[in-house]
Structure 1
Amino acid sequence: MNLRSLGMGLVAASLATTAVAETTVNVLSINRDSTPWRTLYDDVVAEYNANNPGVTVTVEYMEDESFKQKLPTLLQSASAPDMFFSWSGGVFYEQAQQGFLKHLPDDVVSAWQQELSPGGMAALSYKDKFYGAPEASQNVAIWYNKDHAAALGVDPTSIETWDDLLAMVQVAKDGGVTPFVVGGQDKWPLHFFYSFLAMRIMGQDGMAASAAGENGGFDNADWVRAGQEYLRLIELEPFQNGFMGVKYDQATGLWGDGESLFHLMGDWDLGASRGAASDGGLSNDQLGVIPFPMVTGGKGAVTDTLGGASGFVLTSKAGPEAIDFLKTFMGVEAQQRAAREGVYIPTVPSAGGLVEDPILKQFAAIGGASTYHQLFLDQFFGSSLGGAINDVSAQMATGDITAEEAAALLEETRAFQ
């Protein structure tokens, strides 16, 4: 072999070594476009990449419904990410059970629990194994537009019962103001109404009994009544025109543009609505938050909350670099920044007291006073039953099924899953 050939061989070997040393960590997130959340993610990724030569983290953002639909296929393919966003709950349990996830080593769990929320980490555990790191705690409540309320001469803080809310919906209709905007095409925003009504009517014990198939499961008087109360709202035509053709991202932009009196959505909507609005969204002075009201005769409590405990979980293909980045991505510094900048309500205990935004403080107070926290039903009950809850919420909203048919369909799905 001549020197030229030897040199070329050494260069090729060097390039091969460099190629092997380079590691890419692929992260799949729900849509964070045009929000402070996206800025936070991008900054954390950029800093990590700069401080870790040989490792490149990339984040792909996917609209929520597309994320839910495509993730099962991705997890079974060579294109699976190294980690992805998770709402926890039944869908997460299914993924862990089916072997799509990688659990953290015990020593990593012990170290992380010293800084990260043990309760949040527990939400991303299955059968005593931990599969990810927690990020935000979420609560859903009724937002209201103070400008519209003043113009209509109403005080949303006076709402105590579902009947009170329906009466105010009618006032808004009579005054030419859309009562609620909703992304009906995605279905899950509609399921918040149905979920809250079920919780208020049957309470924690009743919800647990349904999940266990007791008292008729979902095909009982309480679930039928939840559907009937939901249909009382639907009969008032409370949503914007063409709501079933509007996705969540569009609907939150409409809310940010001041197109309705109310908006039933989670605390994450503060940044999302401002990012999606045409002019920066509503100011804190224009916003108010109230809990979902009680239903007369219900067994629940107004302090029973609906929401999530989200974070990111590792897939079975994740390597040590992914574990290392996950700790930074969901770590104390990132969550403290999120708290200070009003991005979200963090799970890290040391960050909680840093929340200064007055709207997020109201949501934090709702969560702090919670007597029973129910995870989003479409996540809590797993993909089949959770998907059915979203489906019937949309079908009742369009008048395609009755409350009785919805309850029977849910129980049939529960029995066969």
Structure 2
Amino acid sequence: MKKLLTTCLIAGGLLTGSALAEETVKVLSINRDVEPWKQLYLDVVAEYNKANPGVNVEVEFMEDEAFKQKLPTLLQSDAAPDLFFSWSGGVFYEQADQGFLRPIPDDIAAEWKKDLSAGGMAALSYNGKFYGAPEASQNVAIWYNKDNAKKAGVDPTKIKTWDDFLGQVKTAKEAGVTPIIVGGQDKWPLHFYYSLLAMRIMGEDGLRASAAGENGGFDNEDWVRAGKEYMRLIELEPFQEGFMGVKYDAATGLWGDGGAVFTLMGDWDLGAQRAASSNGGLSNEQLGVVPFPMVEGGKGKASDTLGGASGFVLTRNAPDAAIDFLKVFMGPDAQKRAAAEGVYIPTAPSAGGLVKDSILKQFAAIGGASTYHQLFLDQFFGSTLGGAINDVSAQMATGDITPEEAAKLLEETRQFQ
């Protein structure tokens, strides 16, 4: 691996030899069991530790849902990490408002923007301050298994509308092939359907109006229709048996084992399904990707995307060494390796053209053509309202709530959060 060099911050007076001496930098990441991704992290850490005697960077990996549940408590304790993964959005804003984060000095942030994605940096900024460095951009799309699509007698490349998709789901079901794999227990994989339907129906302006409490907020005909379109899918019983008892990691393993025709998931699933499957997962030749379809009469565009703008942010008591490491951890050299090895779609401009993997190229093309990129709604709207979106997505999937009740509950949550 090309040697990663630390940023030269001494001239700015931030880092001194004494400040770096005997420092421990603790990093908390979401699960990176995808071997190239985890190995990339470990290699960057090892290279940094070797190049910086007296600094010991330690990285811990935590399953996504456990991470979300434990992080708020960790941030209030002496066990808080110095750096942690962030999806940006409303949850990140809450953490900044609550004083849990350390801002990066303005002069250093200005230097970082020369090498890192300006848009990615902006996603990790709040009220004029930068708190982290961007890593990857993510987009959610419909994956399909070519072998299973052939068995089911469907052609996913012809999916242009929601009705097209529902028709192929129904055909697969009738052919005895499981249409869709989903990790319902974690709820957020289900919220992708509800979120994307809402985006296609109301468009960017409609979502922003809901966030501002305009047009009834969430309790309006567009959100009700999104729920009703979602229920059209649920009524086909499209998911694998016992889907509400399956977490994402297990679900992506089932997908990698060839368990269905479709899954709605982000680009990270390419490696995740291979790591979680029992037989090495699906090859690029077995996989295809299509954008989420349009809904008849909707105000959104087929090129509007849902996804993430993720990276790592600093906690309030992070040592200066953590700032130095963060630039290396998320820096151009690490992102170039990620691009070349098909680990993720990087945000650093110098790394973007190095993506070689055929599937990641398709996701990069979807992102490159995006007319409006919406952050995952469960992150964008913050922990309370975002959590409610996940909840109602699951409750509608189990028949415990109607689309009308879901819209009303979301608006009540928005008003009282």
Range into which the TM-score falls when normalised by the shorter chain:
over 0.9
Matches within 5 A, 1:163-202: 163-202=163-202
What's the CA shift for 1:112? 0.6
1:144-192 deviation per Cα after TM superposition (whole angstroms, max 9, x unaligned): 0001112222110101111110110011111111111111110000000
- Name the counterpart of 1:107: 107
Aligned to 2:10: none
Alignment of 1:10-89 (within 5 A): 21-89=21-89
1:233-272 equivalent positions in 2, closer than 5 A: 233-272=233-272
Equivalent position of 1:402 in the other structure = 402
Secondary structure of the structure 2 residue equivalent to 1:113:
helix
Aligned 8 A contact 1:204 1:372 in 2: yes
Aligned to 2:291: 291
Question: Could you state the TM-score of these two structures normalised by the residue count of structure 1?
Answer: 0.95
In structure 2, the partner of 1:386 is 386
Task: Give the drift of 1:34.
Answer: 4.0
SS across alignment from 1:114: helix
Are the aligned partners of 1:147 and 1:286 in contact in 2 as well (CA < 8 Å)? yes
Query: Per the alignment, in what secondary structure is the counterpart of residue 104 of structure 1?
Result: coil
Q: Structure 1: give runs of 5+ residues left out of the alignment.
A: 1-17
Runs of 4+ in 1 over 3 A off after TM superposition: none
Show the counterpart of 2:15: none
CA contact (8 A) 1:305 1:372 kept: yes
Identical pairs, percent: 78
SS at the partner of 1:344? coil
Instruction: After TM superposition, give the deviation of residue 35 of structure 1 in Å.
Output: 2.7
Contact 2:154/2:172 (<8 A) preserved: no
Per-residue CA shift, 1:89-147, capped at 9, x if unaligned?
00000101110000001121111111001111000000110000000000000000001
The SS at the match of 2:263 is: strand
Whole-Å separation in 2 of the counterparts to 1:226 and 1:36? 37
User: For 1:287-339, what per-residue CA distance to the aligned partner results, in whole angstroms no more than 9, with x for missing partners?
Assistant: 00000001111111110000010000000010111001101100000000000
Deviations 1:364-391 (A, max 9, x none): 0000111111000000000000000000
Q: Which residue of 2 aligns with 1:5?
A: none
SS of 2:351's equivalent in the other structure is helix
AA partner of residue 306 (structure 1): L
Deviation, 1:202, is 0.4
Between the aligned partners of 1:130 and 1:173, the Cα distance in structure 2 is 49
Report the CA distance between 1:21 and its aligned residue: 3.7
Residue in structure 2 matched with residue 324 of structure 1 by the alignment: 324
**Aligned residue in 2 for 1:355:** 355
Q: Which runs of 5+ in 2 are unaligned?
A: 1-17
C-alpha separation in 2, matches of 1:34 and 1:156: 27
Structure 2 residue matching 1:176: 3-state secondary structure: coil
Match of 1:136 in 2: 136
1:178 alignment partner, SS class = coil
- Name the SS for the 1:353 alignment partner: helix
* Alpha-carbon distance in 1 for matches of 2:174, 2:50: 57
1:311 match: secondary structure:
strand
Shift, 1:282, TM fit: 0.5
Contact (CA 8 Å) 2:153, 2:172: kept in 1 or not? no
Aligned to 1:8: none
Which residue number in structure 2 is paired with residue 300 of structure 1? 300
Match of 2:5 in 1: none
Aligned length: 399
**Distance in structure 1 (CA, Å) of the matches to 2:78 and 2:244:** 35
Partner of 1:210: 210
Q: Tell me by how many angstroms 1:52 deviates.
A: 1.1
- Pairing 1:278–2:278 present: yes
Cα distance per residue 1:241-283 (max 9 Å; x no partner): 1111111011111111110100100001111111111111101
Q: Larger Rg: 1 or 2?
A: 1
CA contact (8 A) 1:35 1:274 kept: no
What amino acid does structure 2 have at the position aligned with 1:91? V
Instruction: Give, in whole Å, the separation in 2 of the partners of 1:265 and 1:366.
Output: 14
Residue 373 (str. 1) matches residue 356 (str. 2): no
Distance 2:255 2:22 in 1: 44
CA distance in 2, matches of 1:168, 1:144: 11
Q: Return the TM-score normalized by structure 2.
A: 0.95
Distance 2:153 2:247 in 1: 31
Distance in 2 between the 1:262 and 1:229 partners? 18
Residue 153 of structure 2 contacts residue 171 of structure 2 at CA under 8 Å; is this kept in 1?
A: no
Question: 1:204 Cα shift?
Answer: 0.7
Deviation, structure 1 residue 23: 1.4
